[in-house]
Amino acid sequence: MVRDAAIGIRVNAELKQAAEQAAADDRRTLASVVELALIDYLHNKGYVDANGAPIAKGKKK
């Protein structure tokens, strides 16, 4: 998957700190942890498959 788009978000300090700790524990970047969380959310909602690939329009769960 090519990463060619950026998203800027604001979160509270405690959430950022928790995400940074999760990233450190998994030896990942903060961006990687945020991307995985977004993929998980969108997958659970039926917008993307487990790898983050979009599901064809009209085929949402």
Per-residue model confidence as pLDDT tens digits over 22-58 = 999 999 999 999 999 999 999 999 999 999 999 987 6
Separation of alpha carbons 32 and 3, rounded Å? 11
Using 50, 70 and 90 to split pLDDT, how confident is the model at 59? Answer: low
Separation of alpha carbons 25 and 51, rounded Å? 22
pTM score, whole prediction: 0.83
Sign of CA pseudo-dihedral 31, 32, 37, 42: positive
